[in-house]
Amino acid sequence: MKIATWNVNSLRARMPRVLEWLEATEVDVVLLQETKMANDAFDPAPFTELGYEAAHHGDGQWNGVAILSRCGIEGVESGFGDPQVEAGCRILHATCGGVRVSSVYVPNGRALDDPHYAVKLRWLEHLRTWLDDASAANAPHVIGGDFNIAPSDADVWDPAALVGMTHVSAAERAALAALCGLGYEDVVEHLHPQAGQFSWWDYRGGSFRQNHGMRIDLLLASAPLMGRLIAASVDREARKGEKPSDHAPVVARFSD
């Protein structure tokens, strides 16, 4: 089974590229973030034509998450069940081919002195509590998405340039480590611990060409799945060409 996560930065704007990528890669399950559309604007028909069932959780021009699956989709659930902490449509769960998957779009945080930073930390804590209460890591489970956190200094192009900024703060990294402490492992870091495996590059300043990026898009797999991990990588090719997302897909392959 091949599972991918991709922040598409507007599904409406990126639909041709997404469909082309799906046809070329034949990924079984895709977790999408930043669809930037409401549920009534989400049309599953283009995905159905390629053999995918689809679920979507969105309410407008911001946020929005989706799950596409070629191996069935059931048990769809959205949110945490508490609108007070959800900060928009940012999390969607489903079971696909016997694997529970969660598409997550963690709040950005903006700046360390911005109220949105506190919202981000509370959201991550709520996710940890929710996963712990559900004992989700005891079964085959993948949490994939845009975490807006670079796990370590090896996951940013220049750590010195980002001191005092979000995405690299100690509190954010501690929150991510707490999630992994429940029994999850970062599949790309597991197979490719070397620096430079970035998944996001700013549109400005030739960042992609110079590889001035960050690895903030992650696939976290539970222990029952890590034993089945065959391959994991960032698809840099999908970041090239006309009108790309500023994120590249992250893809993992697991044995059946």
| Residues forming the active site | 105, 146
Other CB atoms closer than 10 Å to residue 202's CB: what's the count? 12
How far is residue 218's CA from residue 224's CA, in Å, rounded to a whole number?
Answer: 18
- Exposure b/e, 73-91, CB count within 10 A at least 16 = b: beeeebbbeeeebbbbbbb
- Report the candidate in 98, 104, 78, 89 with the shortest Cα–Cα distance to residue 37: 89
Query: What is the CB-side half-sphere exposure of residue 206 using CA atoms within 13 A?
Result: 2
| 110: CB partners within 8 A, 6+ apart | 116, 117, 166
Residue at token pair 């998405």: 145
- Report the candidate in 198, 185, 196, 189 with the shortest Cα–Cα distance to residue 227: 185
User: Which two tokens mark 91?
Assistant: 């999390």
- Exposure b/e, 121-139, CB count within 10 A at least 16 = b: bebbebbbebbeeeebbee
